[in-house]
Amino acid sequence: MNAVKLKKGTSSHSAYDLKSFIGDTEETHTLAVLVDNEAGVLARVIGLFSGRGYNIESLTVAEVDHEGNRSRITIVTTGTPSIIEQIKAQLGRMIPVYEVHDLTVEGPSVERELALFKVLGMGEKRVEALRTAQIFRASVVDSTLESFVFELTGTPEKIDAFAEMMRPLGLNDVARTGVAAIARGT
């Protein structure tokens, strides 16, 4: 007997909805939110996530329009497609929010992150850390006889890969800015 192969969604041959509510896959989305640059706005936006149990993987905030007194919040979050849509709708209804863009679905975008890595080591490990940094195009921004601080800009995947390579060479501390993202083209 052959196994029945059913696809998600409804079937034209059945009165039952065969959609699996548990089986929705989680996706990572980058949201760009333009808000008033005033006290409490960030807390309200973040409160929307924490109050509903949504996770924020990355968060960056900076003023982008001095004259209009506006800031841009870039949020990387994970959820099912319905949860992402719910997040965007709820953000759009908030009073200090002017625009909500889902850069993941609106077209090509550029994402970058800045990270600082402190690597402790002497001898061959120190030399290997410098070689690895050259491969990743990381800059040495501080050096002592026993440590380096490297600066690296790139995609979150590049930052993660560099951290994994530095771990056995004496990685001691990491500081990351979070993702900054912008849509490409017009």
List the domains of the chain with CATH numbers: 27-102 (3.30.70.260), 109-183 (3.30.70.1150)
pTM of the model: 0.78
pLDDT string in tens for the chain (186-residue length): 555 554 444 444 545 544 445 557 999 999 999 999 999 999 999 999 998 899 999 999 999 999 999 999 999 999 999 999 999 999 999 989 999 999 999 999 999 999 999 999 999 999 999 999 999 999 999 999 999 999 999 999 999 999 999 999 999 999 999 999 999 987
Q: What is the 3-state secondary structure (H, E, C) of the chain?
A: CCCCCCCCCECCCCCCECCCCCCCCCEEEEEEEEEECCCCHHHHHHHHHHHHCCCEEEEEEEEEECCCCEEEEEEEEEECHHHHHHHHHHHHHCCCEEEEEECCCCCCEEEEEEEEEEEECCCHHHHHHHHHHHHHCCEEEEECCCEEEEEEEECHHHHHHHHHHHHHHCEEEEEECCCEEEECCC
23-36 confidence digits (pLDDT tens): 579 999 999 999 99
